[in-house]
């Protein structure tokens, strides 16, 4: 068995840990630990700090402002930051559109868009899903019709996380209605301030409004905002998903949730319950299985031997475990969880941890129903495994 833990990687882990301890603002950390939904300024403040250190886009090539991190360093960075109570690093610019642009974009596009991501000045969102194209993404209908130096875009995107906070959206649009679905799709960058774009918030079950529906009505998008070639968007979209291979495991976040359960149990006098101890140990077993599998996958990636389907294993297990742990936290709260008011939580987000934590735990548990749905649902991931890993 090979290990990814070189002395350098350990040193890097210690660096990240120390950096978070020194630089993560206490108020943001408190909100994250409590499970309180973050605001745009919360996210931006932390990402500004990372950008200042040069770590916001650490896995990018040096030529584009990154640190050339390996897959292992990228993983360690995510695990350490989330475990320490740092906000989820918004992936839309850094993980999604940035790499697509530096891999497939034109020189002009790189110059126009990459600096805004590395400096954390431009907020991106992801416009893939549509009301009738979710799992079947290739069925998307938003049309982009070429008109001289412009594309005229009509249609709608839905479930667009944080579109109401974003400056730009990267979209998959249909440019050839006659071709087989996957072949008629293009990858287009759209400034959300363009006339004809409307953003409508969607409230989700925890009572917050991170989701949106974005409408495009005769939106004129400069043709230079097409990334790569027309009708090749599907290839770029698949490339983009490949970047998240090991990041959906989220072991660090799950460990943070487990630590919180121990804290809540101690507070409620349940920490000596054998049943609770069993549950926590079982979760730990699940997390070890996930973590060790993730490390093996990383080893394979570093050795150039990864087969590609591993991402589905990690996504299915990572999302399911996170869901079970966050739901269990609500059970540990008991009837305390029944006093829940998302508006109160938003207004009192700055209160001490003990005052807001029970509502935060509930909010987080409700929101955590989503990871098994998004990013290729767990059903779709199982289809991928059955077909590509097992040949069924």
Partner 1 sequence: MVFSLTPEQAMLQESASRFLGDRYDDAARRRFRAEDAGFSLDIWQEIARLGWLGSGFSEQRGGFGGGPIETMILMEAAGNALMSEPLLGSMVLPGSVLAEAGSYDDLAHLIEGKSLFAVAWDEPEQPSALEPATVAEPCGDGLAIHGEKKLVLGGQIADVLLVTAKLDGRLAILRVQSDVGGVDVRTHRTLDGGKAANVRFDSARIDRSDVLASGNEAPAVVSEMLARAIAAACAESLGAARNLHDRTLDYLKLRVQFGRRIGEFQALQHRMADMFIALEEAQSLSMMATAALEEPNGDHRDRILSAAKIGVMGRAMHIGREAIQLHGGVGMTDELPIGDGYKRIKSLSLMFGDEDFHLDRMNSLAV
Ligand X SMILES: Cc1cc2nc3c(=O)[nH]c(=O)nc-3n(C[C@H](O)[C@H](O)[C@H](O)COP(=O)(O)OP(=O)(O)OC[C@H]3O[C@@H](n4cnc5c(N)ncnc54)[C@H](O)[C@@H]3O)c2cc1C
Q: Which does 128 bind (CB under 5 to 8 A by kind): partner 1, ligand X, none?
A: ligand X
Strand partners, 202: 211
Answer yes or no: are the C-beta atoms of 173 and 153 closer than 8 Å: yes
Q: Which residues bind ligand X (CB under 6 A)?
A: 126-129, 134-135, 159-161, 211, 370, 373-375, 377, 379-380, 383
Closest by Cα among 209, 334, 182, 326 to 259: 326
Near partner 1 in 311-340, by CB under 8 A: 330-331, 334-335, 337-340
Which residue number, 63 or 205, has a Cβ lying nearer to partner 1? Answer: 205
Among the listed residues 130, 217, 229, 244, the single catalytic one is: 244
Which residue number, 88 or 374, has a Cβ lying nearer to ligand X? Answer: 374
- Min dist CB 121 to partner 1, Å, is 30
The verdict on 379 binding partner 1 (CB under 8 A) reads: yes
Reply yes or no on whether 244 is catalytic.
yes
Near partner 1 in 199-228, by CB under 8 A: 202-205, 207, 211
Residue nearest to ligand X (CB): 134
Which residue number, 69 or 123, has a Cβ lying nearer to ligand X? Answer: 123
- Min dist CB 228 to partner 1, Å, is 26
C-alpha neighbours within 13 Å on the C-beta side of residue 206: 23
The rounded Cα 53 to chain-centroid distance in angstroms is 21
Q: Which does 161 bind (CB under 5 to 8 A by kind): partner 1, ligand X, none?
A: ligand X
Contacts (Cβ under 8 Å, ≥6 apart) of 344: 359
- Min dist CB 161 to ligand X, Å, is 3
SS3 75: helix
Torsion of CA 316, 318, 320, 321, to 10 degrees: 150
d(CA 234, CA 174): 10
Query: What does the angle CA 23 – CA 102 – CA 161 come to, to the nearest 5 degrees?
Result: 60
Which residue number, 67 or 380, has a Cβ lying nearer to ligand X? Answer: 380
> Diameter of the chain by CA atoms?
71
Answer yes or no: are the C-beta atoms of 212 and 343 closer than 8 Å: no
Near partner 1 in 106-145, by CB under 8 A: 129, 132-136, 139
d(CA 265, CA 331): 10
User: Which residues are the active-site residues?
Assistant: 244
Interface ranges with partner 1 (CB under 8 A):
129, 132-136, 139, 158-159, 202-205, 207, 211, 273, 275, 330-331, 334-335, 337-341, 343-344, 362, 366, 369-370, 372-374, 377-379, 382-383
């Amino acid at each position: 068995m090979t290990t990814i833990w070189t002395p350098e990687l350990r040193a890097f882990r210690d660096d990240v840990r120390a950096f978070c301890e020194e630089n993560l603002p206490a108020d943001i950390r408190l909100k994250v630990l409590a499970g309180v939904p973050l605001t745009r300024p919360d996210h931006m403040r932390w990402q500004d700090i990372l950008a200042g250190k040069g770590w916001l886009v650490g896995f990018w090539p040096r030529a584009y402002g990154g640190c050339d991190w390996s897959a292992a360093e990228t993983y360690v960075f995510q695990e350490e930051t989330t475990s320490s109570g740092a906000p989820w690093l918004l992936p839309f610019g850094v993980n999604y559109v940035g790499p697509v642009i530096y891999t497939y974009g034109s020189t002009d596009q790189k110059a126009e868009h990459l600096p805004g991501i590395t400096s954390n000045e431009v907020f991106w969102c992801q416009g893939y899903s549509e009301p009738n194209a979710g799992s079947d993404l290739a069925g998307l209908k938003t049309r982009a019709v070429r008109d001289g130096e412009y594309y005229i875009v009509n249609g709608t995107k839905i479930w667009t996380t944080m579109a109401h906070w974003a400056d730009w959206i990267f979209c998959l649009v249909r440019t050839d209605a006659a071709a087989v679905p996957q072949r008629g799709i293009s990858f287009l960058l759209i400034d959300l301030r363009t006339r004809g774009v409307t953003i409508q918030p969607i409230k989700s079950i925890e009572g917050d409004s991170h989701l949106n529906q974005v409408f495009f009505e005769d939106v004129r998008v400069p043709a230079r905002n097409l990334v790569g070639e027309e009708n090749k968007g599907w290839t770029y979209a698949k490339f983009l998903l490949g970047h998240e291979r090991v990041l959906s495991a989220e072991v660090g976040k799950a460990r943070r949730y487990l630590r919180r359960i121990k804290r809540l149990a101690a507070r409620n006098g349940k920490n000596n319950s054998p049943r609770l101890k069993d549950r926590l140990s079982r979760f730990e077993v699940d997390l070890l299985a996930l973590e060790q599998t993730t490390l093996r996958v990383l080893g394979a990636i570093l050795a150039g031997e990864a087969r590609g389907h591993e991402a589905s294993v990690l996504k299915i297990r990572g999302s399911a475990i996170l869901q079970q742990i966050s739901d269990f936290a609500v059970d540990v709260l008991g009837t305390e969880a029944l006093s829940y008011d998302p508006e109160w939580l938003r207004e009192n987000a700055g209160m001490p941890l003990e005052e807001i934590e029970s509502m935060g735990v509930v909010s987080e548990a409700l929101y955590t129903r989503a990871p098994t749905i998004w990013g290729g649902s767990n059903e779709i991931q199982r289809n991928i495994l059955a077909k590509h890993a097992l040949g069924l």
